[in-house]
Amino acid sequence: MKSFFFKTNNSNLKGNAQLNRRVITFMFCLLISIFIWLLMSLSKEYSISVSFPVKYINLPNDKLITNHLPENISVEIKATGFNLLDYKLRQNRNTLLIDIKNASPISVRNNYYVDCNDQLDVITGQLTNAIKVVSVNPDTIFISYNKKISKLVPVKTNISMDFDEQYQLTDSILINPRFIYVFGTSEALEKISFVETVPIKLKKISGTIDLKLELNRPIANKQIEYSQNTIQARVNVTKYTEALMELPIEVENLPLGLNLKTFPDKITVKYQVAFDDYGKISSSDFKLVVDYSKIDPGSNKLKVQLVKSPAKVRVIKFSNEKVEFIIRK
């Protein structure tokens, strides 16, 4: 009985091995067949349509395009399967250049057209040598022109600033250039009185900063052009400190024979000054006055006015905005 079972198991193993060999042989032959079929298929020529971004070149310098031109065109290309497969697998698409220098006029004034089929060889030359351009859609691109004029407008910055403790802007932001030329149609330029920079935010400023700022372009109006796209700007920043100074009050427009005395006759001015200029400020740089001609009937107070102060300081406040007075002959 044992010998019978051993022979049976041996026979099954041999049968399974032969079946596995037949399956492997079949699969190998199938793969070879698929590979040969694939080679034959990819060796044939095929045509496919591919969308390409477009850039228009050689625009007239004295004219502006007023209609919307296609940003993409569909190109039917012809090549072997190998080349088409390679091209389809690429992530980047060529930007095709459409030359509109020799656009042909039509009956409507300032309107022209470009026949893309006349540029098939030029377009083919912008692709790989293994690909041929068969046709382009749209085959005709219509262009409307308008006369381009210029206008000189000021530039305004759009900077949000957050200063570090005790730091402040020294003076106005310096920009170069302060004016630029804007080009466009007369209708478009009527609505433009200035050009603004792209908004930026500066945080914790503790010193002078030089910036290169991009000019903001109106998204809705692509018919506007700038003489330049960026400007230079300098934000002058310095460290300030607070200071106090007691100053006498003088009287203006006092008639002869009268004497006006204020109470108090001196007040304290609190101001800010740059650290570097702190020791350069004296009381003679300031002048506080009250004006006799501005006395209100029934009032015994006059407003204190600062009529002279150094350009380097920033006055915060007076200890007394108004002072009492008496008049003697």
**Whether 234 contacts 174, CB under 8 Å:** yes
Q: Which amino acid is at 130?
A: A
* Segments forming the whole domain that contains residue 27: 1-43
In this prediction, residue 82 carries a pLDDT of: 60
For residue 169, give the nearest of 198, 216, 202 by alpha carbon: 202
- 136 and 157 part of one domain: no
Boundary residue ending a domain (147, 170, 186): 147
Boundary residue ending a domain (95, 124, 147): 147
Q: Give the relative orientation of helices 81-89 and 2-43 as an angle to the nearest 10 degrees.
A: 90
- List all residues 6 or more positions away from 86 whose beta carbon is below 8 Å from its beta carbon: none
Length of the chain: 329
- 136 and 220 part of one domain: no
- 142 and 50 part of one domain: yes
Distance in angstroms (rounded) separating the CA atoms of residues 138 and 198: 36
Domain total of the chain: 4
- 11 and 99 part of one domain: no
The torsion angles phi and psi of 70, rounded to 5 degrees, stand at -55, 130
- 160 and 69 part of one domain: no
What DSSP element (H or E) covers 133? strand 132-137
pLDDT in tens, the chain (329 residues): 444 444 455 556 556 666 677 767 767 666 776 666 655 555 566 677 788 899 988 888 888 888 888 989 888 877 775 666 666 556 456 788 888 888 888 888 888 988 888 888 888 888 776 677 788 888 899 998 888 889 999 999 999 999 998 898 888 899 999 999 999 888 888 888 999 999 999 999 998 999 999 999 875 566 788 999 999 999 999 999 999 999 999 999 999 889 999 999 999 999 999 988 988 999 999 999 999 999 988 889 999 999 999 988 988 789 999 999 998 87
Boundary residue ending a domain (98, 122, 147): 147
Q: Is the pTM of this model over 0.75?
A: no
In this prediction, residue 3 carries a pLDDT of: 47
In this prediction, residue 1 carries a pLDDT of: 46
Give me the CATH number covering residue 263.
2.170.120.30
Helix (H, G, I), strand (E, B) or coil at 281: coil
